[in-house]
Structure 1
Amino acid sequence: MMEFRDLKTQYHTYKKEIDSAIQEVLEGAHFIGGKQVGELEEQLARYVGVKHCISCGNGTEAMTLVLMAWGIGEGDAVFVPDFTFFSTGEVVSFRGATPVFVDVDRDTFNIDPNSLEKAIMKTVEEERLTPKAIIPVDLFGLPADYEKIEKIAKKYGLLVLEDGAQGFGGSMNGKRACSFGDAATTSFFPAKPLGCYGDGGAIFTDDDELAELIQSLKVHGKGTHKYDNVRIGVNSRLDTIQAAVLKVKLKAFIDHELSDINKVYRQYNERLSSIVETPVIPEGYYSSFAQYTIKLKSKRQRDYLQAKLKEYGIPSMIYYAKPMHKQRAFEEYDYDDKEFPVANELSDIVLSLPIHPYMGEDEVMAVTKVIKMVLNGDNVI
């Protein structure tokens, strides 16, 4: 069966380097805070183009740590796209603040700046919550429209936290993902553009004070040493083995994986653009393609195509079948469904196809051949 994200081929391609890196950690026996962690952080900061990279346990905790450092809490409003993974809104509620969901742009899947400003203005007028921050998401590998978002944030005095969990490697006008806003985070979940062999995450910022505070918060609020605790924090560290693996993978990512996955994207587009709605990458933008997501005509057609692909041994995924405002965990907030027409539509018509840097043109042809066969003779609308 075809792989949706082929981590097996990636491992076999770099087996010697990965095994050696892991073995070095095992022999050194410095499993927490080993030298590989600091080396990785330096390499990541340099690649992204920021002063500080602070690694941590996972992408969700990365966002939580930033919100903790900013003092986000009860009575605060944080603006989050309605069409994204649950954790982006979850971290807001976890801090006791209120997530205010915002509809997205139909072409890019990312937070819609016009809807964002309307949501901010509405929150200000209601006077129930204090607007504090925006968490744009770089969905499917494409950076959000930070030029407009940062202007809006400045206008209303809001902080911007870039959720680059899916966006690492993407860019906008030459500026790399995870370098936007006041701080940014990413995830090293195995299937992400840059993934480890377990959980992992990182925070990026140019703010020296914020970086220092997060370094403390991520290790039980430590002060000058591990048994000097100056504040309440959490335990969220990237272990040395994962850092060692990521160092090998980062080199591969920079050397060829990012360009190779974009080659697959172009092959898909050439074969599918006349049949379905293919991903839109605006001028000046570059995507790292965490997912290759097409749009169908209806939920019925989408579900039918997914079932047919499965019959041919081709995996596909629906990201996301339910918008944030419809999640049961957020039902206490009583959102108005009419405010999210795009997110509601996308949840019914999106389908993500297999894509990864090791995907051959023959596999692309196999996927697109089935899609053409199914949809050209398809009366399901």
Structure 2
Amino acid sequence: MALPSFTFLLAAVLLQVCQGAVGSTCDPHVLTVYKVLVQTFWSRDVFPKQYPEWRPPAQWSKVVGRSHDPSFHLFHVGEVASDGLKQFAELSQTDILDAQSQGEGGVFDEFIAPPVTQGVGETQAQFFVDGNHTKVSMMSRVVPSPDWFIGVDSLELCVEGNWIDSVVLEVDPMDAGTDNGFTFTSPNWPTVPKKPVTRITSQSPDHPANSFYYPDRDQHPPLATFHIVKVKEYQLRHTFSGSFNQAPSKKYTTDDRHDGGNSGVLQDFEVSNSILETSSVVTTPEAPEKKGDQAIMNDIVDKFKKFRKNRRGRKMGRRRSRAPRDCRLSEWSEWSSCSKTCGIGEQIRTRTVVRHSRRGGRPCPSLQETQWCGSSKDCDHKYFDW
């Protein structure tokens, strides 16, 4: 896709972003919510040529979007359209695109915005990204048209380790390359074989029948804009695990939420009975020289200390003769069901300690893992009303 005009943020930085020159280093444990506001300016005053007013009048399909990693493309200029793009650009249908579930093929979140039922209007949606899925792509079909649409291809939202706060993209119409029609209401005339996706400008395609052909203009006024704004960030729950080298020992997890939720602490103690070392005092016949009571007590104390020292030495010797014992864990459980039926939630899996570590062996690692799950595609818009 040829680079759109940028009316917010530094153009040089965003040029690097769209070309993939700026690497993504955002924290994968941070879930970020963005809002996209799509504003359309398709009016008879701005685009008078062959402006459609009935059967059907000028309007826009729903906006179809995906947040994703670099391996995914909803569309890409210079590449032949997928079957899913062909179906959407010609018929506004998304059956093929929807067949790829969230979480597959590099897709993180699927989202839609309602259609705009006239040429001039606006619509909006919200979507999620994380540090492993920092790009967003979206598109809306020009209705009526042979196979034309507007869209954003793989916009990078993470720049130098930070999420972009706001950006506005001005877009031109795109040709999916699957239909040969030149006008808004031209009959279906399939392109065989399909041609690569191209950008429609005021002078290209340079055919007088083309509905967007305006040879007296250097470029089109904006047909639409995509205004993308960061709304909120969430921190994925952190999991901590204590060491099991000492007795009594304790393992615990802390539920640390940035949304103000209650923090819960799970404690599981391994109780070890302490052993009190005692010694019997044996009375013996008195020595020829009778000792005072204090001298006798001092002798008993000295003998007890010596006895305890010798016993401790024997125990330490036995410990040193045995090899360290590493912690051993069970297999991971299955992932739990998603915590949210609408939007992005969390899934948890756990494991248990089969054998604690001893004598300096490898301590037990984390007993719990958490990952993102779910999608905002089918949510009611009130879900995002903070």
TM class by shorter chain equals: under 0.3
**TM-score of the pair, normalised by structure 2:** 0.24
Relative to its length, the structure with more helix (as a share) is 1
Larger RCO of the pair (alpha carbons < 8 Å, separation 6+): 1
Relative to its length, the structure with more strand (as a share) is 2
